[in-house]
């Protein structure tokens, strides 16, 4: 299964009914009395083309650990810990209860994404409970009727991002890390590939433009499968004239889009020029992880001045991925090459990083308190809740009352805060602003 969904909530809110609806068969017992489900039950869930593992759990309840109810609670907690996303189900017809508030607080402290499912919303009976569900502080609730199959389209939309992320994670287990090696002509890309492989796998020479096609090479570094992609040199578009060179450049850009980490090779003897920065921006805009190798470092006379200049230009021109790792090396002599792949793997881990919803919202509360958003036409702009909806690259959704009016400067403040607080240096961070529909719009 691509990802795992745990269904939790207080007793008799319709968890098992939802489980049966998602699993497509009546495998969980359903009755009007609370506490029918005791053990965790797993099944293959689906909404249209979306496939996942779904876990039905016992109703949440406070109880001594040694009691039956306490052991049931422990099973539920394990299900939450193992799940990629947790659905907190409430009975919208009964409204939000103190128990719902209690368990919402507990789930906010977990390191897993949580969303509220307002069940029994058929007709108008659940409207009041649906609107009250915003009080739980877990973002916009999803209105459904598990018994009648209503609202599954909205649930599909809410779960789809987790399928994308889990699909990427599944790729990790079966496919090697895809590492594209790019840069200007004659920067030493093929020489570095041969140095990493320990063999003359690609043709090298002083003439620029020897490599024309992107060359995929399977390799293993300390047990980690890697697919190296050696690419043609990328020149400024204004200087690309021949059709063959244009095709080679397009092939190199395609290799970046297919990569997970892109290794940008620059000629340290020439410094970091405009074309290097153009390539770096393209990598970041595509959401790829970026590592820079300053090749031919042995030809640099003043290494301190050269490094300071590179760092200054990156800080000024590549602020959207502040903290990009730069590895000085010499592909020809091998000096410094041993530091390259560990840096690539560290950057790859940050690109795959996940931040728990609890720590994320505690950070958001402190960030807003330290620097509140500005007023918009006399109205206070409020950031209510945040969650990470995707990795590869880290992508965060923020719920706000006026999302379209959030200044770009404040968005950068949030991105920089995320980068500093959660160790996301050198990878692109995406921030999405969302607003729930006004529940009272169009009503008298």
Domain span at 164: 4-172
pLDDT of residue 31: 37
Is residue 158 in some structural domain? yes
Residue 68 has pLDDT above 50, yes or no: no
Tens digit of pLDDT for each residue in 1-52? Answer: 468 898 998 888 988 899 989 987 554 334 344 443 434 677 788 998 888 9
Q: Which are the contacts of 1, defined by CB distance < 8 A and separation ≥ 6? A: 44, 51, 52, 53
For residues 181 and 85, state if they share a domain.
Answer: no
For residues 146 and 186, state if they share a domain.
Answer: no
Final residue of a domain: which of 317, 351, 385?
351
Is residue 439 in some structural domain? no
For residues 146 and 181, state if they share a domain.
Answer: no
For residues 149 and 209, state if they share a domain.
Answer: no
Is residue 443 in some structural domain? no
**pTM score, two decimals?**
0.65
Is residue 118 in some structural domain? yes
Is residue 47 in some structural domain? yes
For residues 209 and 106, state if they share a domain.
Answer: no
Question: What is the rounded distance in angstroms from the CA atom of residue 131 to the CA atom of residue 184?
Answer: 56
Tens digit of pLDDT for each residue in 171-224? Answer: 454 568 999 999 888 888 888 988 888 866 554 445 444 444 467 788 899 889
For residues 128 and 8, state if they share a domain.
Answer: yes
For residues 377 and 310, state if they share a domain.
Answer: no
Model confidence band, residue 297 (pLDDT cutoffs 50, 70, 90):
very high
Give the Å distances, CA to CA, from 41 to 6, 79, 156, 224.
10, 10, 21, 35
Tens digit of pLDDT for each residue in 77-119? Answer: 777 887 888 999 999 999 999 889 988 888 887 767 889 999 9
Q: Is 380 helix (H, G, I), strand (E, B) or coil?
A: strand
- The mean per-residue pLDDT over the stretch 419-436 comes to 90
pLDDT of residue 332: 92
Residue 168 has pLDDT above 60, yes or no: no
Residue 329 has pLDDT above 60, yes or no: yes
- Cα 213 to chain centroid distance, Å, stands at 31
Model confidence band, residue 143 (pLDDT cutoffs 50, 70, 90):
very high
Residues 4/82, Cβ–Cβ less than 8 Å: yes
Lowest average pLDDT, out of 164-178, 317-331, 408-422, goes to: 164-178
Final residue of a domain: which of 138, 172, 206?
172
pLDDT of residue 184: 87
Is residue 330 in some structural domain? yes
For residues 185 and 287, state if they share a domain.
Answer: yes
Q: Is 430 helix (H, G, I), strand (E, B) or coil?
A: strand
Q: Lay out the sheet containing 395-400: strands in order across.
A: 383-390, 395-400, 430-434
Name which residue leads in pLDDT, 89 or 249.
Answer: 89
Residues 330/297, Cβ–Cβ less than 8 Å: yes
Is residue 151 in some structural domain? yes
Model confidence band, residue 72 (pLDDT cutoffs 50, 70, 90):
low
Instruction: Please tell me the total count of domains within the chain.
Output: 3
Residue 266 has pLDDT above 90, yes or no: yes
Residue 238 has pLDDT above 90, yes or no: no
State the CATH number of the domain containing residue 396: 3.30.300.20
Q: Show the tokens assigned to 223.
A: 């047990």
Name which residue leads in pLDDT, 39 or 304.
Answer: 304
Residue 244 has pLDDT above 90, yes or no: no
For residues 35 and 135, state if they share a domain.
Answer: yes
Is residue 49 in some structural domain? yes
CB atoms < 10 A from the CB of 64, how many?
10
Final residue of a domain: which of 351, 380, 405?
351
User: Percentage of the chain with pLDDT > 70?
Assistant: 80
pLDDT of residue 53: 87
Question: What is the rounded distance in angstroms from the CA atom of residue 98 to the CA atom of residue 102?
Answer: 6
For residues 213 and 164, state if they share a domain.
Answer: no
For residues 276 and 131, state if they share a domain.
Answer: no
For residues 129 and 184, state if they share a domain.
Answer: no
Residues 320/290, Cβ–Cβ less than 8 Å: no
Place of tokens 């595509």: 286
Average pLDDT, the chain: 81
State the CATH number of the domain containing residue 129: 3.40.50.300
């Amino acid at each position: 299964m691509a990802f795992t969904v745990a269904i939790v909530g207080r007793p008799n809110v319709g968890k098992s009914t939802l489980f049966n609806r998602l699993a497509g068969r009546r495998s969980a017992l359903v009755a009007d009395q609370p506490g029918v489900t005791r053990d965790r039950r797993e099944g293959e869930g689906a909404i249209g083309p979306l496939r996942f593992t779904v876990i039905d759990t016992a109703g949440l309840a406070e109880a001594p650990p040694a009691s039956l109810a306490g052991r049931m609670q422990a099973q539920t907690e394990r299900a939450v810990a193992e799940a990629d996303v947790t659905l907190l189900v409430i009975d919208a017809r009964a409204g939000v209860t103190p128990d719902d508030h209690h368990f919402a607080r507990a789930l906010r402290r977990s390191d897993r994404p949580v969303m509220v499912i307002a069940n029994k919303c058929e007709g108008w009976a659940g409207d009041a409970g649906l609107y009250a569900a915003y009080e739980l502080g877990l973002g916009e609730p999803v209105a459904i009727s598990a018994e009648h199959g209503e609202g599954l389209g909205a649930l599909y939309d809410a779960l789809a991002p987790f399928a994308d992320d889990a699909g990427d994670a599944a790729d990790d287990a079966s496919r090697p890390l895809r590492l594209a090696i790019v840069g200007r002509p004659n920067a030493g890309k093929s020489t570095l590939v041969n140095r990493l492989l320990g063999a003359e796998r690609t043709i090298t020479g002083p003439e620029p433009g020897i490599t024309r096609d992107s060359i995929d090479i399977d390799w293993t570094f300390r047990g980690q499968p890697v697919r190296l992609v050696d690419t043609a040199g990328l020149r400024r578009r204004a200087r690309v004239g021949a059709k063959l060179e244009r095709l080679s450049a397009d092939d190199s850009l395609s290799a970046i889009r297919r990569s997970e980490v892109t290794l940008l090779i620059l000629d340290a003897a020439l410094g970091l020029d405009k074309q290097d920065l153009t390539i770096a921006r393209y990598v970041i805009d595509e959401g790829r992880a970026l590592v820079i190798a300053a090749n031919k470092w042995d030809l640099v006379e003043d290494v301190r001045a050269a490094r300071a200049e590179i760092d200054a230009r990156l800080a000024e021109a590549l602020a959207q991925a502040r903290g990009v790792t730069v590895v000085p090396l010499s592909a020809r002599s091998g000096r410094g090459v041993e530091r390259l792949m560990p840096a690539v793997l560290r950057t790859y881990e940050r690109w795959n990083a996940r931040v728990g919803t609890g720590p994320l919202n505690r950070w958001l509360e402190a960030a807003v308190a330290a620097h509140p958003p500005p007023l918009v036409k006399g109205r206070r702009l409020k950031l209510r809740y945040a969650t990470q909806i995707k990795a590869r690259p880290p992508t965060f959704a923020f719920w706000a009352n006026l999302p379209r009016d959030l200044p770009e400067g404040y968005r950068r403040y949030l991105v920089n805060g995320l980068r500093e607080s959660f160790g996301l240096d050198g990878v692109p961070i995406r921030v999405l602003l969302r607003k729930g529909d006004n529940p009272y719009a169009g009503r008298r």
